[in-house]
């Protein structure tokens, strides 16, 4: 007469299935945490780019930060971070993303100004500095209209 219960083979198979399930759940949790952190980085970069562009919009047109810049642009008209920064058109900022764990990250914001007739086109971008970052720099562009001074008579 056979006793009811599990054989050793059944226990091994059940533990293997349980282990695979737990490992896949753990890897999914790590992927979700990583995606959440990356979205916080992108949101912080977006806020810094927006803030810089709003600040530049409020400056007088003859301000040093609004002179035509030597900052390089890519063929897609985005800031080229592989080139050295222009001191008058760049800044770095330390940001605390999570106050409870003191996660401090440095971001670099650059802007490019180009004058076309009666307007200034300002392109701004922010990226995380140091280490590997999975996201591209956040690039934004604004156009500021102005009346060009009349040439002297």
Q: What's the whole-model pTM score?
A: 0.72
Q: Is residue 107 within 8 Å of 130, Cβ to Cβ?
A: no
Q: Please indicate, yes or no, if residue 100 is contained in any of the structural domains.
A: yes
Q: Please indicate, yes or no, if residue 2 is contained in any of the structural domains.
A: no
Q: Please indicate, yes or no, if residue 151 is contained in any of the structural domains.
A: no
Closest CA to 52 of 92, 106, 111, 105: 111
Q: Please indicate, yes or no, if residue 34 is contained in any of the structural domains.
A: yes
Q: Please indicate, yes or no, if residue 1 is contained in any of the structural domains.
A: no
With residue 104 as reference, give the H or E element that holds it.
strand 103-116
Q: Please indicate, yes or no, if residue 152 is contained in any of the structural domains.
A: no
Rounded distance, CA 71 to CA 92, Å? 15
Q: Please count the structural domains in the chain.
A: 1
Rounded distance, CA 49 to CA 78, Å? 13
Provide the pLDDT for residue 18. 97
Please work out, in degrees rounded to the nearest 5, the angle formed at the alpha carbon of residue 115 by the alpha carbons of 59 and 110. Answer: 60
Q: Please indicate, yes or no, if residue 107 is contained in any of the structural domains.
A: yes
Q: Please indicate, yes or no, if residue 153 is contained in any of the structural domains.
A: no
Provide the pLDDT for residue 152. 46
**pLDDT by residue for the chain (153 residues), tens digit each?**
566 777 889 999 999 999 999 999 999 999 999 888 888 888 888 999 999 999 988 888 778 778 888 778 888 888 888 888 888 888 898 888 665 667 788 899 999 888 887 788 888 999 888 766 666 788 888 887 765 554 443
Read off the tokens for 149. 């001074």
Phi, psi (5° rounding) for residue 91?
A: -155, 155
Residue 83: domain span: 8-145
Rounded distance, CA 104 to CA 96, Å? 4
């Amino acid at each position: 007469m056979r006793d009811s219960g599990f054989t050793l083979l059944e226990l091994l198979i059940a533990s293997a299935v349980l282990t695979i399930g737990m490992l896949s759940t753990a890897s999914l949790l790590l992927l979700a945490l990583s995606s959440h952190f990356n979205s916080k980085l992108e949101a912080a970069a977006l806020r810094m780019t927006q803030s810089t562009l709003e600040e530049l919009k409020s400056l007088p047109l003859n301000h040093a930060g609004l002179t035509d810049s030597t900052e390089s642009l890519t063929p897609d008209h985005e800031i080229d971070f592989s080139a050295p920064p222009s001191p008058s058109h760049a800044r770095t900022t330390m940001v605390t993303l999570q106050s409870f764990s003191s996660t401090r990250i440095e971001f670099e914001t650059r802007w490019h100004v180009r004058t076309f007739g009666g307007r200034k086109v300002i392109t701004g971008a922010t990226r995380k500095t140091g280490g590997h970052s999975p996201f591209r720099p956040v690039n934004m562009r604004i156009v500021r209209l102005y009346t060009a001074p009349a040439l002297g008579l």
